[in-house]
Chain A
Amino acid sequence: MATKLKPVDVVVVGVGVTGAILAKELAETGLKVVGIERGQMRDTYPDFQMPNAHDELKFQRRHELMQDLSRETITFRNNKDETALPMRYLGSFKPGEGVGGAGVHWGTQTWRFSPWDFETRSRTVARYGKNHMAEDCTSQDWGVTYDELEPHFDMFERVYGVCGKAGNLKGKIIPGGNPHEGPRSREFPLPPMKMSYAAALFTQAAQSLGYKPFPVPVSTPSKVYTNPYGLTMNACVYCGYCEGFACEMASKGSPQTTVLPVLMKNKNFELRTLANVIKINLDPAKKRAVSVTYVDSRGREFEQPADLVLLTSYVFNNVRLMLHSGIGKPYDPVTNTGVVGRNYAYQTPSSVTMFFEDKYFNSFMGAGGLGMAVDEFNNDNFDHGGLGFIGGGFIKSVSSGARPIEVRPLPSGSPRWGSAWKKATAHYFNRNFALALQGACQSYRGNYLDLDPTYRDAYGLPLLRMTFDRHDNEHKMSLYITNKAAEIGKATGPSKMNVNPRSGKYTIVPYQSTHNTGGAVMGNDPSTSAVNRYLQSWDVPNVFVIGASAFPQNGGYNPTDTVGALTYWALDAIKNKYLKNPGSLY
């Protein structure tokens, strides 16, 4: 029997990138806020300190900072005719667990989605006609535009200490930046980082082909930085233990470095760790959330009443909690009705790796997102007429820092073991670099999330079931843009080159990206979106569902900056609209 606790104003479920910001801002308005987090407290000191912060086995291979699958995982199948089976190991994606969530171990690329992304369907139809999108493609407009989000992108980038070079300032194209980006109201808060040899070679090659390379926007400060909350981050030291790791230097934008020190001092906020929310309880009419139920580390069940419930966990748990709680109608792929679980999407990454005999890259140096990029083959920046697909992706040089258990590429056809493998590995470890492509992924009728009929979590509750595969659009797009990247790669003068467009069935085994999206998508039509343009549940207006779960489809960029912008956008609606007049904002 659950112990009923004293009511509070706001419950935040999951204290990661979005939850920390919302809790901090709402607690400062005087509201009593409780943050409920399934994992442990973690902080720069003592958890992320040297020398153990630089342990590839512990963090990249054994996933110390990531979700413990023994308690909870997802099940997966490629299509609804298969039986979904549990993801027993982390692979394709790596959700976080604990305070800070995946914001502790992310790779810090801080891209804005483009104006086109937010209006994918209407702009595609306007330019190419209705038949240009696949019949079963359910990609749609977001219900919010880039211009509406711009101030919120700006705020998140100031809070997270993002380095870069603007390419479009209020409509004026600025040399050195991304000419294809949406207009920015002002320059980045920090100048670009120093560039590696790989980035320099890529820049030369891209320019020789007429492209406009620019520094990848990253949240690893190029110099000491104090954010609008008064918190100071150190300058990044290019140690090469970034994505998959926590930063020992407080030089990575994360809840720990940018928000939590202020939040934790606020008496209006209480953090409850090792507490797993299993349900949002609704009133009998199912129109209002009255409380959340969670289980603590000793197995005790608590009911925490609240006026406002914010779902701020990773994509999967946002959707799963809605399904467990009866918030919104579950999606049915057969009738194509219902909304919760609809439009699950992912990404279509690919790569080109160049090998050299006479160039030495010090591949172990770098930072999570360090590199230069071109955006000519992203979004609708190129003519898709006759190509048979929509969307694209950026092409960037990689200098993340090569750790040798995982990052020691060899030319295609090289042996995997034995003396010949050893010789090639010794030679090429510091004599290669890669181009990474962040290919977009459209949404389709057959790709969705629901509850698994067989497998259960440690609390006896059904796991979330993912049904997903990439479609022709994604494979054609990947081949096209990867071949473009290969032309750039070739222009860097390698002796050998691997070209790896994404093809074949989606598999959850090799790492691709922790950029899962959708399932509780936003929009202006309650028959095709689970939350409205303010990320508020259509059915239960005192529940907001905030994160990449709101993306109707996935763009050709890393998602975090857009997640951050949506967070401040929803916050603005909550503070300035909802709290003044609680109820549906649409």
Chain B
Amino acid sequence: MEESSGRRWFLKSVAAVGVAAPAAAFGADPQSHHHRELVSQAGSVKGQSQPQVYGWLTQPEQAFIEAAVARLIPADELGPGAKEAGVSYFIDQQLAGAYGTMARNYKQGPWPEGTAQQGYQSRLMPQEVYRAAIMEINAYCSGRYGKVFEALWAAQQDEVLGDLEAGKVALESVGASFFFGLLLANTMEGFFADPIYGGNRDKIGWQLVGFPGVAAVYSEFIDKHNVPYKAEPVSIADLQQHAVAVDEHGHPLHVLLAKKD
């Protein structure tokens, strides 16, 4: 016990030192303007004024997650990525709420490790997993590269993420590949979930794959074979705020995009 808490304190110190350098990220994120431009270039749907406020993540955690999700789903020639889609805000909200605290999950012990077939058996809730793992990964990065994760070059970040995925990094509190799996799953959720949850800003994820969001009535389209149906995606907010016309059952009347493929 003594040893373990001592180690935790050491890790905290390393993390605190590590994040001192890019502290400019706190408050005004120098990259955010650039990314907002990307969004407005790519988005054919009018921008939504979503609050970009973190409620639960600490500043080093915010920086880590912004950097990590930007590698998992990068901004590239296909358009903006997970960071621009607000996925870090999505994760923040999820960790603070029912998901992060396993409100609808079985939480009683004991917690032996179990087999892979038995699934999630961590004593930690997702919000605790993120807190512990990010601190330990930043300590690992500081030891190996001399910098915390978000300060690394993109290629180095990819290397760290790949090593986490492959379980090659020895973390103290949680398995590396376990944490990576959680981070990747939550990133995909944030990129593709309805924007109501803080991610998928301007429906970036839906536009990427050609998903129309809230469905319209497809009765007259389902049997039009090999005819692409490309619509401006519609979100729950669009409907609640009456930004989109609806039919008698509340399905949106999709605005079809001009044919181009």
Q: Which residues of A contact B192 (CB under 8 A)?
A: 56, 403-405, 408
- A residues less than 8 Å from B260 (CB atoms): none
Shortest A61–chain B CB gap in Å is: 6
Bound-state Cα–Cα, A546 to B193, Å: 38
Contacts A235-B219, A248-B250, A508-B117 given; indicate if A404 touches B205 (C-beta within 8 A): yes
A238 near B219 (CB under 8 angstroms)? yes
A426's partner among B78, B216, B246 (CB-CB below 8 A) is B78
The reply on B222 being an interface residue by CB < 8 A is yes
B197, B208, B228, B240: the one within 8 Å of A360 (CB): B228
A441 CA to B121 CA, complexed, in Å: 27
Does B253 count as interface, using CB distance less than 8 angstroms? no
Contact B194 A55 (CB under 8 A): yes
Surface stretch bound by A, among B19-27, B54-62, B104-112, B128-136: B104-112
Give the A-B pair count, Cβ closer than 8 A: 200
Q: How far is the CA of A421 from the CA of B165 in the complex (A)?
A: 15
* Contact of A62 (CB < 8 Å), options: B98, B116, B246: B98
Residues in B neighbouring A55, C-beta threshold 8 A:
193-194, 196, 236
Contacting pair A426 B119 (CB below 8 A): no
Residue B218 is within 8 A (CB to CB) of chain A in the complex = yes
Does B175 lie at the interface of the complex (its beta carbon under 8 Å from any beta carbon of A)?
no
A248, B216: Cα distance in complex, Å: 12
Chain A hits for B225, CB < 8 A: 196-197, 200
16 other contacts beyond A85-B118, A237-B251, with CB at 8 A cut-off?
Answer: A51-B236, A52-B236, A54-B213, A54-B214, A56-B194, A70-B106, A78-B115, A88-B121, A239-B216, A364-B211, A365-B222, A402-B211, A404-B192, A404-B205, A418-B72, A418-B74
Complex Cα distance A364/B218, Å? 10
Between A and B, 18 residue pairs with Cβ closer than 8 Å are A52-B236, A54-B213, A54-B236, A69-B104, A70-B105, A70-B106, A88-B119, A89-B119, A200-B225, A235-B219, A237-B251, A239-B218, A360-B261, A362-B222, A365-B218, A417-B71, A417-B187, A455-B106
Interface mask (B115-159 → A, CB under 8 Å = 1, otherwise 0): 111111100000000000000000000000000000000000010
List 4 tightest A-B contacts by C-beta distance, closest first.
A50-B250, A51-B239, A429-B209, A239-B215
**Would B118 and A248 count as touching, CB distance under 8 A?**
no
Q: For chain B residues 151-210, which have a beta carbon within 8 Å of chain A?
A: 158, 161, 165, 184, 187-189, 192-194, 196-197, 205-206, 208-210
Closest to B216 in A: A239
Assembled-state Cα–Cα distance A583/B165 (Å) = 61
Q: Point out the residues of chain B lying under 8 angstroms from A241, CB to CB.
A: 215
0/1 string, B212-237, CB within 8 A of A gives 1? 11111111011101111100000010
Does A418 contact B106, Cβ atoms closer than 8 Å? no
- Contact flag A419-B211 (CB < 8 Å), given A68-B104, A87-B106, A249-B249: no
Residues of chain A in range 404-458 having any CB-CB distance to chain B below 8 Å: 404-405, 408, 416-419, 421-423, 425-426, 429-430, 454-456
Q: Which residues of B contact A91 (CB under 8 A)?
A: 119
B251 — which chain A residues lie within 8 A by C-beta?
50, 237, 239
B209 & A408 in contact (Cβ 8 Å cutoff): yes
Chain B residues with CB under 8 Å of chain A are 71-74, 76, 78, 81, 98-99, 102-108, 110, 112, 114-121, 158, 161, 165, 184, 187-189, 192-194, 196-197, 205-206, 208-219, 221-223, 225-229, 236, 238-240, 246, 249-252, 261
B119/A87 in contact, CB under 8 A? yes
Q: Render A506-542 as a binary contact track against B, CB cut-off 8 A, 1 for contact.
A: 1111000000000000000000000000000000000
Interface residues of A in 50-98 (CB under 8 A from B): 50-52, 54-57, 61-63, 68-70, 73, 76-78, 82-83, 85-89, 91
Is A49 located at the chain interface by the 8 A CB criterion? yes
B126–chain A nearest beta-carbon distance, Å: 10
Could you say which of B98, B120, B194, B216 contacts A88, with CB atoms under 8 Å apart?
B120
Secondary structure dominating the interface of B:
loop
A508 touches B119 (CB 8 A): yes
Q: Which of A17-63 contact B (CB under 8 A)?
A: 49-52, 54-57, 61-63
Given A49-B250, A88-B107, A508-B118, are A238 and B208 neighbors across the interface (CB < 8 Å)? no
Note all chain A residues with C-beta closer than 8 A to B99.
62
* Interchain CA distance A248-B251 in the complex, whole Å: 10
How far is B76's CA from A422's CA once the two chains are assembled, in angstroms?
Answer: 9
Decide: B115 and A418 in contact? CB cutoff 8 A.
no
**Are B117 and A418 touching (Cβ within 8 A)?**
no
Q: Are A83 and B106 in contact (CB under 8 A)?
A: no
Q: Tell me how far the C-beta of B166 lies from the nearest C-beta in chain A, rounded to whole angstroms.
A: 11
Contact B211 A404 (CB under 8 A): yes
The reply to whether B250 and A422 contact each other, CB–CB distance below 8 Å, is no
Tell me, rounded to whole Å, the shortest Cβ–Cβ distance linking A93 to chain B. 12
B249-A56 in contact (CB<8A): no
A196, A197, A237, A399 pick with most chain B CB within 10 angstroms? A237
Q: Does A505 contact B (CB under 8 A)?
A: yes
